[in-house]
Amino acid sequence: MHALSRAFGVFSAGLILLSVGIVCQMVFVRAVLGESSIWQTEFVTFALIAATFLGAPYILLTRGHVNVDVLPLMVGHQARLRLHLVGSILALVFCLLFLWASIPWWYETWASNQTTSTIWRARLWIPYLSVPVGLALLALQYVAEIYAVATGSDLPFGLAPEEGI
């Protein structure tokens, strides 16, 4: 799971870099050439949303998310372990509920061959697929994290038992 999360993290970073390049190209086309942009805004929007969902497991893996460490630092190791497991299980349940709701939403766009209403006519199922895929990967990363902390192969919140305030 770690390798898969890392691979999608690299892919997400690539989507962000590609989006930056496309925005620069769009500015050049509009400002210098005086032409209109047709596909750039939609592509960048879809790419950044995909990068957010597909990169989420990597952020969880590296503990790159916003985190308040005051409470875990104030309690002992056993309470920290319980706090981490409860928080991770709640987050996993949220991801699974969101995943469950996103699959029919994606499937409807795929089955009905929906497209954007712009001249580009992008097929919506392609960018929408990043939502259930990203949530499934995030749920799997939560399962891996819960297992690692429960079996003692990883520390809750990355804090050693002796660490505290």
78-109 confidence digits (pLDDT tens): 999 999 999 999 999 999 999 999 999 999 99
Give the pLDDT score at 21: 98
pTM for this predicted structure: 0.90
Give the pLDDT score at 149: 94
Give the pLDDT score at 68: 75
Give the pLDDT score at 6: 97
Give the pLDDT score at 83: 93
Name the CA dihedral angle for 93, 111, 134, 117, rounded to a multiple of 10 degrees.
Answer: -120
Which residue's structure tokens are 């919506």? 124
In the predicted model, residues of the chain with pLDDT beneath 70 are none
Residues 6+ positions from 9 with CB-CB distance below 8 Å: 55, 57, 58, 59, 61, 62
